Amino acid sequence: MRVLSIATLFPNPVRPSFGVFVGNQMRAIVASGQVDLTIVSPLGIPVWPLSLREPYAKLNAIPQMAQVAGLQVHYPRFTTFPKVGGDTNPGRIAKAVLPLVRKLHAQKPFDLVDAQFFFPDGPAAAIIARELGLPLTIKSRGADIHFWGQRPLALKQMLAAAHQAAGLLAVSQALREDMIALGMPADRIAVHYTGLDREKFHPINRGAARALVSAMPNLQIWPEGPLLVTPGALIARKGQALVIEALAHLPPDTRLALAGAGEDEGRLRGLARRLGLADRVQFLGLIDHELLPHVLCAADVLVLPSASEGLANVWVEGLACGTPIVIPDIGGAREIVSDESAGRIAARTPEAIASAVRDILAAPPAQTDVAEHVSRFSWGMNAQNLIHFWEDVMTRHARPEASVDTAA
């Protein structure tokens, strides 16, 4: 089966951790030996002179084709208009990608066009699939539905792509319901849970992990006292400000480590200073994916009060490390926090977050009990389920009267 996958959310030589979970999934697909996979990851570069500024200058220096995450990836460029042109990106992506994929398709025909994010990838892939006369599949992951689904122009393109697609995927049952509520065809939407690198993410004795990350010069996390970790990009949607405010309601020896970087860092540092918490909040910056499991194992609680998620990979990774999580009732939260040994589901308020953390710290569950909640997750299973879904789509494309299995 020859699959062309369009993925703007994918690692590249400049940002090797960007969309790392998509890279993990695709590496497992290729390792299965069942799919001949071509990955095209379009890079948005603004017009001159913005293209000379960072990070665009470094992105523009990436070769048109590069080996990333053990995979050969094509990186065509499309023109983007930062902060104002997002709704119109799909057309420009398709225009940039079509010459390349027409050439590749002529050399060795594809069987299916896949999109790994619903916007802008989905509508762009829909144009490409129409041009090549191929069936289309699209995966939704959370923010693509919850953010772009509220923008009329983007939603119009998403719905058109959804109705063109032979099959759709959601990362949780809750996200599937949200897609149906937007007007996407229920009979074509299957649930495809995320994967997990079980060799990296597994319980390590919390005390040993804490000693390790406190001794690392590039981390130097506090060696003592309850430790909260909030992983993710420092952007308002992730809710780090709520965790900092919750810290004020917790015992003074409780510390918070923010693992990530982003545009909100200055505002978050200012908030910590104003609340008199600057000495209890540590900004770790971007954490290498090899170090992240040690940081998660060292934490007493992972707190991530995002405004929206489908089923966040880091929820699964935290649980796999034996670290209970505190998250809002969003996306697939109730699909993995099935009892108190996994953590708590808490409202997005500082008081509710602090209360949930206090409960966990008062009676911490065993790391092995926490990890058991995600025992069914692996990249191998994720890959096999996706391959089965693609095969089913190909069968139904040949027999249009067949229906989608909604438990992919």
Query: Distance between CA 216 and CA 315 in Å, rounded?
Result: 24
CATH 3.40.50.2000 maps onto the chain at 2-195+378-398, 206-374
Token pair recorded at residue 203: 């319980």
CA dihedral 317, 319, 321, 327 (to 10 degrees): 80
pTM of the model: 0.89
**Taking Cα atoms as reference points, which of 102, 158, 88, 159 lies closest to residue 130?**
102
Q: What are phi and psi of 171, to 5 degrees?
A: -80, -5
Looking at residue 56, what is its pLDDT?
84
- C-alpha separations of 369 from 229, 289, 295, 341, 345 in Å: 19, 24, 19, 7, 17
Number of H helices, E strands in the chain: 16, 16
Over its length of 408 residues, how does the chain's per-residue pLDDT go in tens digits?
Answer: 999 999 999 999 998 888 989 999 999 999 999 999 999 999 999 888 888 888 889 998 999 999 987 899 999 999 998 877 789 999 999 999 999 999 999 999 999 999 999 999 999 999 999 999 999 999 999 889 999 999 999 999 999 999 999 999 999 999 999 999 999 999 999 999 999 999 999 999 999 999 999 999 888 899 999 999 999 999 999 999 999 999 999 999 999 999 999 999 999 999 999 999 999 999 999 998 889 999 999 999 999 999 989 999 999 999 999 999 999 999 999 999 999 999 999 999 999 999 999 999 999 999 999 999 999 999 999 999 999 999 999 998 876 555 566 655
Looking at residue 218, what is its pLDDT?
86
Task: Confirm if 115 and 164 have CB atoms less than 8 A apart.
Answer: no
| CB-count exposure of residue 4 (10 Å: 0-12, 13-18, 19+) | buried
- CATH superfamily for 2-195+378-398 is Glycogen Phosphorylase B; (3.40.50.2000)
Neighbours of 156 (CB within 10 A): 12
Looking at residue 406, what is its pLDDT?
62
DSSP 8-state secondary structure symbol assigned to residue 260: B
Q: What are phi and psi of 321, to 5 degrees?
A: -85, 0
**Taking Cα atoms as reference points, which of 302, 369, 380 lies closest to residue 338?**
369
- C-alpha separations of 332 from 61, 185, 241, 339 in Å: 38, 20, 23, 14
CA dihedral 319, 324, 325, 329 (to 10 degrees): 100
Token pair recorded at residue 357: 């953390």
**Taking Cα atoms as reference points, which of 96, 109, 77, 161 lies closest to residue 4?**
109
Terminal Cα-to-Cα distance of the chain (whole angstroms): 18
Looking at residue 350, what is its pLDDT?
98
Fold of 206-374: Rossmann fold (3.40.50)
- C-alpha separations of 130 from 164, 259, 320 in Å: 9, 41, 41
- Break the chain down into helix, strand, coil percent, rounded to 5: 45, 15, 40
The Cα diameter of the chain in Å comes to 65
